[in-house]
Structure 1
Amino acid sequence: MPLNQYVYFALSSEHTTAQEMAAVLGIEPDETTVRASRVAEPPMPVCHRWKIACRAPGLRVDEQVAQILDRLRPHAARIAELARRLNREGDGPSAVLQIVRYFNDDEYPDKADRSGPGLFGWHLGRDVLDFLDVTGAVLDIDEYDMTPEAPGGQPQEG
C-alpha cells in the first residue's frame, strides 16, 4: 500500500505575517502560506502561516516529528511566547503540529519509498507531548484513503 506522509509545525495568525513571526522567533520557515477570501460573502479572514516541515521519504511519522522538534526545541520559549500573543489576537490555538497521511496514493511519484509495514506504526513520546504543552500547540492528524472507487461508490478490490 503506497503511503505519502508529512509533518509540519505551524504558527498561524490573521494579523501577524509569517515574515513577522520569523523575525520574532529568529527562525526562517521552511514554508509560508497566506490564505484570503475567494468570495466577498461571507468574508473569510486572511490567515498567515509560518511552517517548519519534514517531507522526507521513508521515515515514520515519529521520525519526521523528531526532525522538526530537534530544530524547534532550542526556541521553545520564544515559540510559546509568540503562540500566546497570536492566541490573544485570534479565535483559537495558533500553534499546531500537523500530521498528514495519504494511504493508497498511487499518484505519488515516489511511492516505492513510502510503502511497507514499517511506516504505518508510530507513537509520540513524552518529549513531544511536553513540547506541545509548553508551546500551547494542538495536534491535528489528517488521514486520507486515496483508493479509487468503483462504479457505485464502492472501493475497488486490489
Structure 2
Amino acid sequence: MKIRQYCYFSVKSVSLSAADVTTRLGMEPDKVLVMGSRSPERVLPRFHAWKILRRSDESVDDQIQHLVNRLEPVRGALVSLCADDNVSPVIQVVRHFGDPDGVQGAPGGTALDQAQHWPRPLGWHLSLSVLDFMVSTRTELDVDEYDSTDDLDR
C-alpha cells in the first residue's frame, strides 16, 4: 500500500499573529494563517498560525526529528512563548493510506539490509529527545489518517 505523509509544527493563537510569533522567535515560518482571512463572517480560520513544514518520503519519526532540529536554535524563545495559555503549539502528522502518489515500503520477503534502503511509511516512534522538546514547549501531537482508497472507489 502506498502512503503519502507529511508533518508540520504549528503555533496557533487567537491573540498573537504569525508576525508576532516570528518576532518573538526570531525565525521565519514556512507558512502562515491569518485568522478570518478565508471567511471574515464565519471567522475562518479560527486562529492565527505560524508553521514550519516537512514534506518528504522520510518516515514520520524522521520528519518530526527534522522539525525539532530546525526549532532547536529557538527552543528557549519557544518555551517562553508557549508558556502563554493563549498559544497552542502542535506537531501535526497527516497520513493518506492508499494514495497513488505515496511511497511504498519494501515488499515482503525483502532482506533487512536491502529493506533499509526503501522508504519506511508504516510504523513510527518518538525519540526521547523529541518527547523532551514536546514537553518543554507544551506541544501536543495531533495525527490525522485518511483512507485514500475510498476516494478511488467513487
Superposed pair shares fold, TM > 0.5: yes
Using the TM superposition, give the Cα deviation of residue 44 of structure 1 relative to its aligned residue in structure 2, in angstroms: 6.3
Distance 1:44 1:100 in 2: 21
Distance 1:44 1:60 in 2: 31
Residue 116 of structure 1 corresponds to 105
Q: Structure 2: which 5+ runs fail to align?
A: 107-119
Q: How does 1:28-67 map onto structure 2 within 5 Å?
A: 28-36=28-36, 38=39, 40=41, 46-56=46-56, 58-67=57-66
Using the TM superposition, give the Cα deviation of residue 62 of structure 1 relative to its aligned residue in structure 2, in angstroms: 0.5
Amino acid at match of 1:102: H
> Which of the residues 140, 143, 148 maps onto 1:146?
148
Q: Which shifted more, 76-85 or 31-40? A: 31-40
Root-mean-square deviation (CA, aligned residues, Å) is: 2.3
> Which of the residues 124, 137, 147 maps onto 2:139?
137
Amino acid at match of 1:120: L
Using the TM superposition, give the Cα deviation of residue 22 of structure 1 relative to its aligned residue in structure 2, in angstroms: 0.5
Q: Structure 1: which 5+ runs fail to align?
A: none
Residue 71 of structure 1 corresponds to 70
CA contact (8 A) 1:14 1:45 kept: no
Distance 2:136 2:24 in 1: 18
Distance 1:148 1:44 in 2: 27
Aligned length: 140
Greater than 6 Å deviation, 4+ residue runs? none
TM-score normalised per structure 1: 0.78
CA contact (8 A) 1:33 1:49 kept: yes
Distance 1:30 1:83 in 2: 19
Using the TM superposition, give the Cα deviation of residue 81 of structure 1 relative to its aligned residue in structure 2, in angstroms: 0.8
State the identity as a percent: 36
